[in-house]
Structure 1
Amino acid sequence: MGSKKSRLRLDDQLCFALYAATNALVRAYRPMLAELGLTYPQYLVMLALWQDGTTAIHALAERLQLGSNAVTPLVDKLEAAGFVTRTRGADRRVVLVALTDVGFHLEADVSAAQQSVVCRTGLADRELADLRQELKDLSERIAAAGAVTVDEPS
């Protein structure tokens, strides 16, 4: 076992490169968001609300590619911080999340933090757009392929 060369090398794995890049980005955001009273996952919820407006919890979870059970505690914290409110829709089973005035105005401060992280990437606007599109396309191709089991040929 000790002398056989492994065919699987950490440095050759796309998943590890994506994981390391994601961790680096989150670490870059963390202190700036903390000053504004947000965690990175809460920031993602706020981004969706700034873009889409009032949204049902289940739609917010779908938008963030998370389960509703993962989004609800984030919304709880955002509501406690005064950034969002929750109300029931016409269908009482639907919980709507809306920005408060404080949450709406927080976008300007968060925008400055986001621009700082973008500068730290060293990528030009076109390079950022191309990378973002490649990653979106990759996600869609993997999702379209569905779950692959060990027995299936790849």
Structure 2
Amino acid sequence: MKPQLQLDKQLCFALYAASRAMTQAYQPLLAPLGLTYPQYLAMLVLWENDDISMKQLGERLQLDSGTLTPLLKRLESAGLLQRRRSSSDERSVVIRLTAAGKQLEEQAATIPGTLSCRFGDVGSERSAQLRDTLQQLTRLLQGCTLP
């Protein structure tokens, strides 16, 4: 076997495994809120910027409308948000939190701290460095064109 093809030497696999582990770490914290991890990410954006277009939400989450629409429909069915056509542009859908969606922010506020306790000695500074490195990697990959 060629050494460059060994699974444990692949950055892509390390990122994949870390992403799965992170998602699994969040599951027990999100279950009481009735949220999946992707729904939680959408709610994070909405708690930051309520009353935004679906296009803006998709851009922030880096999701296309085909992935985002079913996720938003489930959140709407749960009574956490409303989707409405924009009054200024019929083609645009605006997402707005309901009172229940806004209240959920209070319950979710403890999640980052609870999860950071699981990181052990990584600490907030190291965590910020890891986040910044991953964000830089994302930007590099998004700008990369392959033959």
Report the TM range for the smaller structure's normalisation: over 0.9
Task: Provide the residue aligned with 2:80 in structure 1.
Answer: 83
| Deviation (angstroms), 1:113 | 2.1
Whole-angstrom distance in 1 between the partners of 2:12 and 2:23 = 16
Structure 2 counterpart of 1:98, which letter? R
Task: Provide the residue aligned with 1:35 in structure 2.
Answer: 32
Structure 1 counterpart of 2:124, which letter? D
Task: Provide the residue aligned with 1:121 in structure 2.
Answer: 119
Q: Percent sequence identity over matched residues? A: 44
RMSD over aligned CA atoms reads 1.1
How many pairs does the alignment contain?
144
Whichever structure has more helix as a proportion of its residues is 2
Whole-angstrom distance in 1 between the partners of 2:23 and 2:112 = 11
Structure 2 counterpart of 1:128, which letter? S
Structure 2 gaps of 5+ residues are: none
Task: Provide the residue aligned with 2:107 in structure 1.
Answer: 109
Q: Which has the larger radius of gyration?
A: 1
1:3-152 matches, within 5 Å, as: 5-7=1-3, 8-89=5-86, 90-122=88-120, 123-146=122-145, 148-149=146-147
Whole-angstrom distance in 2 between the partners of 1:143 and 1:95 = 26
Whole-angstrom distance in 2 between the partners of 1:63 and 1:49 = 10
Structure 1 gaps of 5+ residues are: 150-154
Larger displacement relative to structure 2 (105-114 or 9-18):
105-114
> Could you state the TM-score of these two structures normalised by the residue count of structure 1?
0.89
Alignment check: 8 A CA contact 1:50 1:104 kept: yes
Whole-angstrom distance in 2 between the partners of 1:20 and 1:31 = 18
